[in-house]
Chains A and B, each alone.
Chain A
């Protein structure tokens, strides 16, 4: 089944933009993807018709806004196959979701217990756990990567033991695109009674995780990486696990009853949703799911696979170009360097040519240390990218080489 790229591109107003007087080619989708008009319109429509605080009013607007917000939660629940909609906690994004769980575990972890992370994580999925270990005296263990950018699963097997409480791994690496074998990781972790948090930020735009099928304990997502708005995401957690965690922040909405003697907390999901949330963002997140369903995640993945194969082949024709992360099972992300050229210089010239790529360490410094490089240039693709954009990228790189060498 093919998809109609022209029709999809027409849904993204920003793709009509020019940058430095040339048409924009947006290849920084792993940082933030662009937003289709269906999602933009949902946000505008919310402010034009429904704007009111949710869960708090008897008046019509408040009720309608609440219904839309809770409808979005339900939509996310169904799409990812969570058992209950209250297992979906709205957050400001992946980072918030990870910190919520890490902070909750501070009261559940004991000195000498262990946490396992991997070498190919985003700093968001490293630092909160380091802070947690400092606070509790638990120990942080690291699953090493190999030269291709894969996790060494035999090392993981050796790290797992009866003291392991939590394993935290990304579903897809942002710097390399590697798709990790999370089902296997979850199964092995459960065998020693450890829980698993999966950082799904980079997976959600390309792969639909089925929470029942993979039996994951926690899963976090950011809407802005999957065609949705910034500042909203969700944390999924199994009901009994979310119930076992203390609240993250105190405030309105998250309480059952407040007295100065003792405050009792609200039920899920409200226990973790203190304060007025990003209401328009939550509702638009629902529209984002509809947008993806409209095209079909498998169609998106197929198109991106074509882009990845074509781009890999074209880039490797450039002399001195080296790609980091060479596994068969990866998303449409290409991290590369060209011999003798600093990634920052290449990124600068490409920007002058209207091509947006990411340069630097991609908030994944351990990976850069592994390869002993200051950073890479990363081109990451989305459903609206085309083969001809890849041709332009290649020409742009060649021009940059001529200028820089």
Chain B
């Protein structure tokens, strides 16, 4: 079982091989096209985060001391980045999530997607991932 930090490092390594933005986007788009990341019954109004540009859904569970996140987005690029976020955060302990940072997004050159001006819901997703984890550290 990789730690959160180790997963972030392997993502950074994987992205290092891309020589231009097209390759990087192709990879994210492929991630975005992969299986739904959330069950239909969790795609509820309660779990929706309405961005101005695209909508995202997040559902959190707590099992055996670990956070289990399911999420989805209606735009493929957003969904691809969500897939990366879930890879990092899902199956980790709340404490590790609360103590983590997001600098890997910067390192793989996708920081612009987590900017509030994008209004794509990703900023809110990250916030909710943390809030759900904080609630389980109490």
Contacts and interface: CB of A to CB of B under 8 A. Distances in A.
B54 A361 contact: no
Contacts of B119: 360
Contact of B55 (A349, A352, A374, A404): A374
Nearest to B80: A345
Contacts, number: 38
B52 A361 contact: yes
B26 A345 contact: no
A359 B53 contact: yes
A360 B53 contact: yes
Interface in A9-65: 20
Given A344-B54, A359-B53, A352 B25 contact: yes
Contacts of A343: 53, 75
Interface residues of A, number: 16
A373 to B, nearest CB: 11
A352 B110 CA distance: 12
B31 to A, nearest CB: 13
B54 A349 contact: no
A342 interface: yes
A361 B52 CA distance: 7
B125 to A, nearest CB: 14
Interface string A366-382: 00000000110000000
A342 B75 CA distance: 5
Interface in B31-83: 52-55, 74-78
B120 interface: yes
A403 interface: yes
B22 A403 contact: yes
A360 B77 contact: no
Interface string A325-348: 000000000000000001111011
Interface in A187-243: none
Contact of B75 (A20, A345, A403): A345
Given A359-B53, A360-B53, A374-B54, A349 B75 contact: no
A346 to B, nearest CB: 9
Contacts of B26: 403
Given A344-B75, A344-B78, A404-B76, A349 B25 contact: yes
A348 to B, nearest CB: 5
A345 B52 CA distance: 13
A403 B77 CA distance: 11
Contacts of A342: 54, 74-76
Given A342-B54, A359-B53, A361-B52, A374 B25 contact: no
Contacts of B76: 342, 345, 404
B34 to A, nearest CB: 14
A20 B21 contact: yes
A344 B76 CA distance: 9
Nearest to A359: B53
Contacts of A344: 53-54, 75, 77-78, 120
9 contacts: A20-B21, A342-B54, A342-B76, A344-B54, A344-B120, A345-B78, A347-B53, A374-B55, A403-B29
Interface of A: 20, 342-345, 347-349, 352, 359-361, 374-375, 403-404
Q: Sort A-B residue pairs by CB-CB distance and give the 5 closest, nearest first.
A: A342-B75, A344-B75, A344-B54, A344-B53, A360-B53
